[in-house]
Structure 1
Amino acid sequence: MQRRLLVPPALLVPFLAACLIAPISVGLGANAPAVADQTAVSSATVTLQGGGLSISAPGDAGNLGTKSNIVGAVTISGQLGQVQVIDSRGAPAGAGWTATVISTAFTPPSGPAIGAGFVGYTAGPITKVGTATYAANDPVTLSGVSPVVTATGIEGDNTATWNPTIDVRVAANMAAGVYVGTLTHSVS
C-alpha cells in the first residue's frame, strides 16, 4: 500500500520557494568558487625602420642664360631648377647633413673651356618641412666639392628644397658658342 503525503497548499508555496532560493543564496556566499579571469593581456611591438638620405636635382637644367659676346668679361646667371634633400632616416635629435656640389668645366664644341673655378652657386630661399636649421653656403667656385646647404639640429624626418642660381663668369675674348657643363650634387 502506498502512502501519500498531502501538503496543504498554504504550506506548499513557501516550501517550494525555500527550496529554490536556498541554492542561490549559498552560491553567493563567501565560500563560492572563484570566477575565471575574463581578461587576457598581450604584449606587442612595432618596428619603425629608418629610411634614407637622398638628393635630387634636374637631369637637364637647360640654358642658364645667354649674353652677347663682348670684349670684356661677363657673368651669365640662371636658375638650375629644384634641388631637394629628403631625410627619412629617423635620425636622432641634433643630427645633420650637408649637401655638396662640384662642377665640370663648361666646354664649347671647340676652343678653350670656362673652368669650374669660374662657376658659382647661390642656393637662394630654402623651403623646409620638418624640424631643422638650414644654412646656405653659396660657394663662388665649384672646382672642388663644395658645401651648398647644411642642416643641423634635426628632429625626425625632414625635407629641404631650393632653386639655386648658377653664375658662370666668362673671361674676356672667349669664343662665341654653347658651353656645356655638369653639376653633381651629393648629400651626407
Structure 2
Amino acid sequence: MRKKLLVATVVGVAASVVLGAPAHAEDTIVTLTVDATGGLSITVPATANIGHGVEGASVSGLLGPVTVLDQRSSLTPNWTASVISTDFVTGDGSSGETIPNINVSYWSGPATATAGTGTFTPGQPGPANQQIINVPRTAFSKAGGTGNNFATWNPTLVVNIPPATVQGTYRGTVTHSVL
C-alpha cells in the first residue's frame, strides 16, 4: 500500500508542475510582409481602324479591349483611367488636311470583364453619354474594395467628319492613361 501511495504522490507533484502556472513567460511578436505582385498598368490595342465615311458624316467603331491591371495589393486600390485624342491628319496636315479633335467623341461602354472587389464604373456607359475627348475625360474608374483587381472594356470612338474635309486616310492618336 505504501508503494501505491508514494507513486500517487509523485505523479500528483509532477502533474502540478506541468499543469501549474509557468514561472516566467515571454512573447514573440511575429511580422511578415505581403509584397505587391506588380503596379498599376493599362494596355490598349496598338492600332484600330474604325472604317470610312464622307464629309459631313460620322464614322464610329470599336477601339478594341482596354485593360487596367492593378497589382498593387493595396488596402485602397482606387484608380481612374482617362482618355484624350489628338487631331486626325492626312498627309502632313499643313494644307488643312485635319479633322480637329473637337470632332472626336468616346464612350467606354460597360466592362466586358472585371475581377476583384469594389465598384467598377464606366465613364460613359452608353452612346448617349459619349464625350468629346479633346481634353482628358474619365474612361473608367474603380473605387473601394481591397487587393488586386482588373477591368476590361471595349470603347467606341466616333469621328464627325467636317464639311469640306479632303479625301485621304486620317490618323490620330487616342491616349489612355491610369492613375
Which TM-score applies when normalising by structure 1? 0.71
Larger Rg: 1
Between the aligned partners of 2:139 and 2:122, the Cα distance in structure 1 is: 6
- Pairing of 1:1-188 with structure 2 (within 5 A): 28=11, 30=13, 44-50=30-36, 51-58=38-45, 60-67=46-53, 69=54, 72-93=55-76, 96-110=78-92, 111=95, 112-126=97-111, 127-138=113-124, 139-152=130-143, 154-157=144-147, 158-188=149-179
CA drift of 1:98 comes to 1.0
CA drift of 1:173 comes to 2.1
Between the aligned partners of 1:122 and 1:54, the Cα distance in structure 2 is: 21
Q: Is the 8 A contact 2:88 2:170 kept in 1?
A: yes
Unaligned 5+ residue runs, structure 1?
A: 1-17
Distance 1:176 1:45, change over 3 A: same
Q: Is the 8 A contact 2:119 2:145 kept in 1?
A: no
Secondary structure (helix, strand or coil) at the match of 2:152 reads strand
Distance 1:29 1:89, change over 3 A: closer
Between the aligned partners of 1:47 and 1:31, the Cα distance in structure 2 is: 42
Unaligned 5+ residue runs, structure 2?
A: 125-129
Which TM-score applies when normalising by structure 2? 0.75
The size of the alignment, in residue pairs, is 163
RMSD: 3.0
Between the aligned partners of 2:138 and 2:150, the Cα distance in structure 1 is: 17
Between the aligned partners of 2:10 and 2:98, the Cα distance in structure 1 is: 101
Percent of aligned pairs with the same amino acid: 33
CA drift of 1:147 comes to 1.3
